[in-house]
């Protein structure tokens, strides 16, 4: 995804405005002011607030998925890499909005305006998690037999767990603490008996 410097600057300026006011209460004038450009200049780049928000979602998902891919590709134990990848996913896509009073509106707006982007990123994440867990199971690094689970089922459970934590905890240290607790339970559940 190619974004020029002006577009990047506008999207950087828009994020804190959306976080502070929510989508419905943010105006293009607010974003232009935050970006220190005229409204006319803003409208030369984006036709509407909806188009701008969607572009921000695409940029965020593209960057995050590149960072998730890098985290999963690093050397080390599979569960450590999965935990690092989920921390990246959460920190880059959930935390910025999760700390906003308008978090629920912003998440709903994202699904209304950029469901295809979000769905594609989640499907890629599931595929990458499944591949990582499959390789770990084949090398006996983890054991899914006691839980009678497949790597695909575990990948879905991990993502569902992160989603559930997102909706039950609104940002801050509690979000990270709950995620770390979830990953500790996961680690205990999948480690081979002789590895405990």
Tokens of 73: 């590709």
pTM: predicted TM-score of the whole model, two decimal places: 0.88
Contact 43, 71 (CB under 8 A): no
Contact 159, 94 (CB under 8 A): no
- pLDDT given at position 196: 43
Tokens of 118: 């979000």
Question: Distance between CA 24 and CA 27 in Å, rounded?
Answer: 8
28-53 residues labelled b (16+ CB within 10 A) or e (exposed) = bebbbebbebeeeebeebbeebeebb
Nearest in space to 190 (alpha carbons), one of 122, 142, 128: 142
Question: Distance between CA 38 and CA 53 in Å, rounded?
Answer: 18
Domains, the chain: 56-195 (1.10.357)
Within the chain, how many helices (H) and strands (E) appear?
9, 0
- pLDDT given at position 89: 92
Question: Distance between CA 131 and CA 147 in Å, rounded?
Answer: 18
pLDDT tens digit at each of 196 positions of the chain:
556 899 999 999 999 999 999 999 999 999 999 999 999 999 999 999 999 999 999 999 999 999 999 999 999 999 999 999 999 998 898 888 877 889 889 999 999 999 999 999 999 999 999 999 999 999 999 999 988 999 999 999 999 998 888 777 555 557 778 888 898 999 889 988 654 4
Region for residue 179 given its phi and psi (left: phi exceeds 0; alpha: psi -120 to 50; beta: otherwise): alpha
CA angle 164, 168, 173 (to 5 degrees): 105
Nearest in space to 61 (alpha carbons), one of 7, 119, 104, 15: 119
Question: Distance between CA 24 and CA 63 in Å, rounded?
Answer: 25
């Amino acid at each position: 995804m190619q974004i020029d410097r002006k577009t990047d600057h506008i999207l950087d300026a828009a994020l804190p405005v959306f976080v502070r006011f929510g989508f419905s209460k943010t105006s293009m004038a607010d974003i232009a002011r935050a970006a220190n450009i005229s409204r006319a200049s803003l409208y030369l780049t984006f036709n509407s607030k909806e188009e701008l928000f969607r572009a921000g979602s695409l940029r965020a998902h593209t960057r995050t998925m590149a960072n998730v891919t890098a985290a999963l590709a690093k050397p080390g134990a599979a569960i450590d890499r999965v935990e690092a990848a989920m921390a990246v996913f959460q920190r880059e896509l959930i935390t910025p909005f999760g700390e906003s009073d308008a978090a629920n509106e912003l998440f709903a707006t994202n699904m209304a305006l950029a469901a295809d982007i979000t769905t594609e990123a989640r499907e890629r994440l599931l595929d990458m998690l499944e591949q990582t867990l499959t390789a770990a199971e084949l090398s006996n690094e983890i054991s899914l037999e006691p839980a009678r689970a497949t790597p695909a089922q575990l990948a879905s459970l991990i993502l569902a767990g992160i989603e559930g934590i997102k909706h039950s905890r609104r940002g801050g240290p509690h979000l990270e603490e709950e995620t770390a607790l979830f990953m500790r339970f996961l680690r205990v559940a999948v480690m081979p008996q002789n590895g405990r």
